[in-house]
Chains A and B, each alone.
Chain A
């Protein structure tokens, strides 16, 4: 990240990059909207097969981690360095929990024989196939972004430790925070589209 004398410019550049990420997931939303309109009943049935508890739990903890990331920026501004580090550490842990949940969910589904090109899936209707195909690609891509986001938060953590990020130079933390919030934003839409089709 660029240590410029223009923090607004730094943040603006980050927002532009976030726009590209939105359009990246946007392509998947295009596909979802097409197949949802074509296979409504199957999508609704597919949603019932996903684990609502895991999905809701993940939604809740991701929202909480968004709060803690935002709060860590407040802490940094208030010169509460240790609080900022604790909040960041908590956020990273939430990311890990999220990924673990995902791993459990996917593992369970794969165990049941529900995965791309599986024998069971081959016998299902076309709509069911599309639903689960999209499910794996979308949540997989999202999980990859959770990993990237968590890594960015860890980098911010390290930079705060080394005093390279401080109340006078908060931009790196702010920008990594923006990325984490984007990860949360994507999930805010993924959750109802896949888990709440009832």
Chain B
């Protein structure tokens, strides 16, 4: 990737960092307070996608590497999800 494009991605990442710090300071009130963690994870996931796609060149790698990455994340999601199902219903 050209320097310019990489620098552009960096700017996006820094902007998203600023966004996530600001979002964490938002007063959402008692009812919507639970959203904070999801917003944080959401923005972090978007940042991660930029790093993966551009800095780590996933954009230019063959599809099977991208798919395997998705599978790895899915497995982790299942590990977290099923454990939470236990904890949530105790």
Contact = CB atoms under 8 A, between A and B. Distances in A.
Instruction: Determine whether A and B are in direct contact in the complex, meaning some CB atoms lie less than 8 angstroms apart.
Output: yes
Interface of A: 8, 11-12, 15-16, 19, 22-23, 26-27, 29-30, 33-34, 36-38, 52, 56, 59-60, 63-64, 66-67, 69-71, 74, 174, 177-178, 181, 184-185, 188-189, 191-193, 196-198
A106 to B, nearest CB: 22
Contacts of B75: 23
B73 to A, nearest CB: 8
B17 A19 contact: no
Given A37-B88, A185-B52, A70 B20 contact: no
B55 A70 contact: yes
Given A15-B65, A15-B69, A193-B41, 16 more contacts: A11-B65, A23-B76, A37-B84, A56-B17, A63-B13, A63-B17, A66-B51, A70-B6, A70-B54, A70-B55, A178-B56, A181-B52, A185-B48, A188-B48, A189-B44, A193-B40
Nearest to B23: A196
A30 B83 contact: yes
A64 B76 contact: no
B62 A15 contact: no
Contacts of A34: 83-84, 87
Interface in B53-72: 54-57, 61-62, 65, 68-69, 72
A181 B69 contact: no
A97 to B, nearest CB: 17
Q: How large is the interface on B (under 10, 10 to 19, 20 to 34, 35 or more residues)?
A: 35 or more
- The secondary structure that dominates the A interface is helix
Contact of B47 (A37, A64, A188, A196): A188
Contacts of A178: 56
Contacts of A191: 44
A189 B24 CA distance: 14
Interface in B1-31: 1-3, 6-7, 9-10, 13-14, 17, 20-21, 24-25
B6 A67 contact: yes
B32 interface: no
Contact of B20 (A11, A16, A177, A196): A196
A56 B43 CA distance: 15
A147 to B, nearest CB: 20
